[in-house]
Amino acid sequence: MIATVVDTKELWETVVAAFVAGVGVTASFSFVILGAARFAGLRRADRPLAAGAFGALAVVALIVALAAITLGMIAMLSK
């Protein structure tokens, strides 16, 4: 009965979008911190290759997090 009154599609989209956005941004930013921390440690240990890989992870994760936030804002502004 409730399904006939409530727009379950909208509600479901809200749940999925909020979950993906909230968890996704937190996970991406955690990778930024992991990458940055390991980059600093490995650089001090004079392991440039591994440090570079973790540095790249930090940069990519930061781009993913910022892109997710930007896309979310664009979606809100465009409706």
Partner 1 sequence: MSADVILAIVIATALAFDFTNGFHDTANVVATSISTRAMPPRLAVGFAAILNFVGAFISLEVAATVAKDVVESGAITTTVVFAGLIGAIAWNLATWWFGLPSSSSHALIGGVVGATIAAAGTSAVLGEGLLGKVMIPAVIAPMLAFVVGVVGINLAYGIAGRERPGTVSRGFRMGQVVSGGLLALAHGTNDAQKTMGVITLALIANGTLSESAGVPFWVVASAATAIALGTYMGGWRIIRTMGTRIIKMDSAQGFSAQGAGAAVILTSTHFGFPLSTTQVISGGVMGSGAGKRLSVVRWGVAGNIVVAWLLTLPAAAGGGAAVFGLTELLGGGAAAVVIVAALSAFGSVLLFLRRNRSSLLAAPAPQEATA
What are the residues binding partner 1 (CB under 8 A)? 2, 5-7, 10-11, 13-15, 17-19, 21-23, 25-27, 29-34, 36-38, 40-41, 69, 72-73, 75-77, 79
The residue (of 30 and 45) whose beta carbon lies closer to partner 1 is 30
Q: Where are the beta strands (DSSP E) in the chain?
A: none
Report helix, strand or coil for 1.
Answer: coil
- Minimum distance, C-beta of residue 63 to partner 1, in the bound complex (Å): 14
Based on the number of CB atoms within 10 Å of its own CB, is 18 exposed (0-12), middle (13-18) or buried (19 or more)? exposed
The residue (of 26 and 67) whose beta carbon lies closer to partner 1 is 26
Answer whether 32's CB lies under 8 Å from 61's CB: yes
